[in-house]
């Protein structure tokens, strides 16, 4: 009997505890909603009184936009308000499609010139070439018109005409052309082909609608045309991501059916999901290398992370961006939208690779990267150790390629671009993109082209010395070391001609890429760039070396 009453007391206590907890929970939830309703009332009353009695008129849209922007400052940078005029940009991010003419532009001084023409685009069909200068659009001069405005005018609904006048950059001859805008579909697979005879290579630039199907077709075509393939490279460098579903489709090309690729978890538990592969893969045995760099983000990291966690292939390059957040769009009144972060995503091992903690802000409102001391370890399916909180770390790290200061200056001042334009008009033909080489005599011609050009610049060492001199003067040390600083400054002064020769091979490669782009457009530029691509060459070496490839995939077992 006593045991019965003891059990009854315990049961009653447990029920009271449960009821109390439920009451606290309900109170907290009710209090939270009360606080929201209360502050919305205050906000509306505040604006009403301010708008009624403030001495000057306040533009409602501008004031409200500032209020929205202030709220967004408390969130992450991926949560955003999308106005009606920016809906096309949101659509482009999802579909890769927009209405326009299919060209890239750059404004340098008074005029805007064409820098790239997309193959098969309206500009390509009209015979427009990189280097051509836009003189007018629909009868209005483009002289001194900002680049953003020129770009806006080039876009428009498919089928609408645009009357343009172009100036030849060499002869100065002006030619009118009628361009009919089309729906431009920026291809998610910008190039696929064979490198070094037996390695497949696919360059993927974004995760938009049907991009996974494009990658699948590219893999299938490469395998069918090259049965002796020794490996496949999937290049996700610079790929900012896009649709999560498409990331699963891409991973599925190399991973068996019914395998977990990614899961999402957020505040709204009903929205939590697990994404598994649903199709038969193309190939689960072909050695695979996924290339990443710091600009590989979001969906790119889902693919790289799942391939790494499932030990399906090697990740090569640099640590990825570290975006482990998922966004959803919510419809707002008057054809506007909210793009809001609703969840975090987790790779098959259970890690979230989000690198910046936006939920904990410093006193100044700033945010920090997750410190290494707080990053947790997880294991791949084969037992290798991987970490969360900082992007995808490569299995084979390759230092990024840095461009010399002289090369940066030549690019920035468009001397490489302009020389390539001159070269194009004086050479009707060149060799195939992969085999084209600039001769030493032609490089000397480029040097002569620069003789009367100003490409002066400061090296990083000179900038550092200037900063040191400023600090020394403030701290009153300068007079004591002035002579030594002057000697050091003299020794550091660079000779532009010598810098040009010292970085000859690098500048030749940049010239070759730009020249090839004139004849073979974007595909030609990519093919040419593969010659000296450190990450690609590292991937080729590892894919051709089965022992080293397997060793990197089984380090934890040794």
Q: Which of 80, 132, 235, 309 is catalytic?
A: 309
Q: Token pair for residue 106?
A: 């750059």
Please state, in angstroms and rounded to a whole number, the distance separating the CA atoms of residues 113 and 104.
9
User: Which residues sit opposite 284 in a β-bridge?
Assistant: none
Burial class from Cβ neighbours inside 10 Å (0-12, 13-18, 19+) for residue 536 reads buried
Place of tokens 């085999």: 435
Beta bridge pairs of residue 203: 191, 235
Rounded to whole angstroms, the Cα distance separating 249 from 212 reads 5
Half-sphere exposure of 89 (CA within 13 A, CB side): 11
Residue 521 CB contacts under 8 Å (≥ 6 apart), including other chains: 116, 117, 118, 119, 124
127: left (phi over 0), alpha (psi -120 to 50) or beta: left
Catalytic residue among 121, 298, 320, 349: 298
What DSSP character marks residue 179?
E
Concerning whether 461 is annotated as a catalytic residue, the answer is no
Distance CA 155, CA 162 (A): 10
Q: Which of 121, 235, 296, 323 is catalytic?
A: 323
| Residue 528 annotated as catalytic | no
Q: From CA 86, how far away is CA 97, in angstroms rounded?
A: 14
**Quick check: is 309 catalytic?**
yes
Other CB atoms within a 10 A radius of the CB of residue 79 amount to: 17
Q: How many residues does the chain have?
A: 558
Active-site residue list: 298, 309, 323
């Amino acid at each position: 009997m006593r045991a019965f009453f003891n059990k009854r007391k315990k049961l009653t206590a447990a029920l009271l505890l449960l009821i109390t907890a439920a009451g606290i929970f309900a109170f907290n939830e009710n209090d939270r909603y009360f606080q929201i309703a209360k502050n919305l009332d205050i906000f509306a009353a505040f604006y009403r009184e301010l708008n009624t009695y403030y001495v000057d008129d306040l533009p409602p849209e501008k004031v409200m936009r500032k209020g929205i922007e202030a709220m967004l400052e408390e969130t992450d940078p991926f949560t955003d308000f999308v106005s009606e005029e920016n809906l096309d940009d949101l659509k482009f991010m999802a579909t890769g499609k927009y209405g326009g003419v299919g060209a890239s532009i750059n404004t340098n001084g008074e005029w805007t010139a064409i820098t790239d023409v997309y193959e098969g685009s309206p500009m390509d069909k009209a015979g427009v070439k990189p280097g051509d200068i836009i003189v007018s659009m629909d009868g209005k001069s483009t002289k001194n018109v900002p680049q953003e405005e020129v770009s806006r005018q080039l876009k428009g609904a498919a089928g609408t005409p645009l009357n343009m006048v172009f100036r030849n950059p060499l002869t100065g001859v002006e030619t009118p052309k009628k361009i009919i805008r089309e729906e431009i579909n920026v291809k998610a697979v910008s190039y696929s082909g064979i490198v070094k005879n037996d390695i497949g290579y696919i360059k993927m630039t974004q995760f938009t609608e049907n991009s996974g199907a494009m990658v699948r077709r590219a893999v299938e075509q490469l395998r069918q045309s090259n049965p002796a393939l020794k490996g496949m490279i999937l290049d996700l460098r610079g790929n900012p991501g896009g649709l999560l579903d498409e990331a699963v489709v891409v991973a599925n090309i190399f991973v068996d059916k019914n395998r977990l690729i990614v899961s999402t978890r957020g505040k709204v538990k009903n929205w939590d999901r697990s994404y598994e592969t649903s199709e038969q893969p193309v190939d689960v045995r072909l050695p695979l290398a996924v290339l990443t760099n710091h600009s590989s983000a979001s969906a790119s990291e889902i693919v790289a992370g799942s391939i790494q966690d499932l030990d399906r292939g090697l990740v090569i390059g640099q640590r990825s961006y570290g975006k482990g957040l998922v966004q959803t769009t919510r419809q707002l009144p008057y054809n506007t939208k909210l793009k809001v972060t609703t969840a975090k995503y987790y790779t098959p091992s259970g890690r979230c690779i989000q690198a910046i903690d936006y939920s904990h802000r410093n006193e100044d409102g700033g945010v920090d990267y997750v410190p290494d001391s707080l990053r947790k370890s997880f294991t791949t399916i084969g037992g290798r150790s991987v970490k969360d909180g900082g992007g995808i770390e490569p299995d084979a790290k390759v230092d990024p390629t840095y461009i010399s200061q002289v090369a940066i200056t030549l690019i920035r001042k468009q001397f490489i671009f302009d020389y390539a334009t001159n070269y194009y008009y004086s050479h009707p033909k060149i060799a195939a993109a992969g085999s084209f080489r600039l001769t030493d005599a032609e490089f000397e011609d480029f040097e002569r082209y620069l003789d009367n050009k100003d490409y002066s610049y400061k090296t990083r060492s000179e900038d550092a010395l200037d900063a040191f001199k400023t600090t020394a003067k403030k701290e009153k040390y300068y007079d004591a070391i002035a002579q030594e600083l002057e000697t050091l400054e003299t020794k550091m002064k660079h000779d532009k001609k010598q810098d040009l020769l010292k970085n000859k091979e690098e500048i030749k490669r940049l010239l070759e890429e730009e020249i090839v782009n004139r004849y073979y457009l974007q595909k030609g530029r990519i093919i040419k760039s593969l010659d000296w691509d450190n990450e690609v060459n590292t991937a080729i070496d590892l894919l051709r070396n089965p022992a080293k490839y397997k060793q990197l995939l089984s380090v934890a077992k040794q």
